[in-house]
């Protein structure tokens, strides 16, 4: 099982689709387009940060249980990133100490139960998509979600920069599985076929190193 991580607009959903097709497997996507809480959060972060994170945590727990039940599945974002978002919001004054305590206890309980809910204890590989602020903003503007645009909410500039900085330490601390980085400024796997081919080669190589991929699987 492969999990993806990275900034908003880094290209996780696109890579999940590409990888699922490449490996002949299923992609699991973060619920965004039909998420009833997300627009509320962007409109009033302080009021809805806790509700949004509980909503995401529940969905991510269900997705990773389902993904771990079979081989070769891909998640475009996983439960392992969840705490990063909520604790950042808490540090920005968008959650109370009581909400943080409830969230942390719930997340810890879920992580303790995860090995018993599926036949695998953890992912086989984390692929972290590294992206600059400028490239991220290009992607965000291109997909056109109003609530993600800084021109509609100037506080998003600070939010995005803060998240970029925290992701560096999050990746260094992640130790649930082997991991690798993809530089999305250098390799545009959505727009350029040659870059997509290179990204798949890098991922295949990492999987082969762990004896998780046969030659026949890379020729699909």
Residues forming the active site: 76
Tell whether 30 is in a known binding site.
Answer: yes
Give the separation between CA 131 and CA 9, rounded to whole angstroms: 9
Tell whether 12 is in a known binding site.
Answer: yes
The conformation of residue 52, written as its DSSP 8-state character, comes to H
Tell whether 144 is in a known binding site.
Answer: no
Phi, psi of 129 (to 5 degrees): -95, 115
Tell whether 8 is in a known binding site.
Answer: yes
Nearest Cα residue to 175 out of 106, 211, 123, 109: 123
Nearest Cα residue to 159 out of 140, 177, 142: 140
Tell whether 10 is in a known binding site.
Answer: yes
Tell whether 194 is in a known binding site.
Answer: no
Tell whether 81 is in a known binding site.
Answer: no
Triad 149, 131, 219: Cα angle to 5°: 120
Burial class (CB in 10 A: 0-12, 13-18, 19+), 27: buried
The conformation of residue 214, written as its DSSP 8-state character, comes to -
Q: Is 16 helix (H, G, I), strand (E, B) or coil?
A: helix
Tell whether 187 is in a known binding site.
Answer: yes
> What CA–CA distances, in Å, run from 109 to 17, 93, 103, 160?
30, 25, 10, 29
Q: Is 35 helix (H, G, I), strand (E, B) or coil?
A: coil
Tell whether 29 is in a known binding site.
Answer: no
Torsion of CA 101, 103, 106, 112, to 10 degrees: -90
Tell whether 53 is in a known binding site.
Answer: yes
Tell whether 77 is in a known binding site.
Answer: yes
Tell whether 198 is in a known binding site.
Answer: no
Tell whether 9 is in a known binding site.
Answer: yes
**From the annotation, which residues make up the binding site for substrate?**
30, 42, 53, 77, 82, 148
**From the annotation, which residues make up the binding site?**
6-14, 30, 42, 53, 77, 82, 148, 187-189
**From the annotation, which residues make up the binding site for ATP?**
6-14, 187-189
């Amino acid at each position: 099982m492969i999990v993806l991580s990275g900034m908003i607009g880094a290209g996780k959903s696109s890579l999940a689709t590409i990888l699922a097709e490449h490996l002949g497997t299923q992609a699991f996507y973060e619920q965004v387009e039909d998420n009833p809480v997300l627009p509320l959060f962007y409109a009033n972060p302080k009021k809805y940060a806790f509700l949004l994170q509980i909503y995401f945590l529940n969905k991510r727990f269900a997705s990773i249980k389902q993904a771990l039940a079979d081989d070769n599945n891909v998640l475009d974002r996983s439960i392992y990133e969840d705490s990063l978002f909520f604790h950042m919001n808490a540090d920005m004054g968008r959650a109370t100490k009581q909400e943080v305590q409830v969230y942390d206890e719930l997340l810890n309980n879920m992580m303790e139960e995860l090995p018993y809910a599926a036949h695998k204890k953890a992912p086989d590989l984390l692929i972290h998509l590294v992206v600059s602020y400028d490239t991220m903003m290009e992607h965000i503007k291109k997909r056109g979600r109003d609530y993600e645009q800084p021109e509609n909410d100037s506080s998003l500039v600070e939010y995005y920069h803060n998240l970029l900085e925290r992701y560096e330490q999050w990746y260094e601390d992640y130790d649930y599985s082997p991991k690798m980085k993809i530089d999305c400024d250098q390799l545009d796997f959505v727009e350029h076929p040659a870059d997509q081919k290179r990204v798949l080669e890098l991922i295949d190589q990492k999987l082969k190193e762990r004896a998780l991929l046969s030659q026949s699987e890379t020729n699909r």
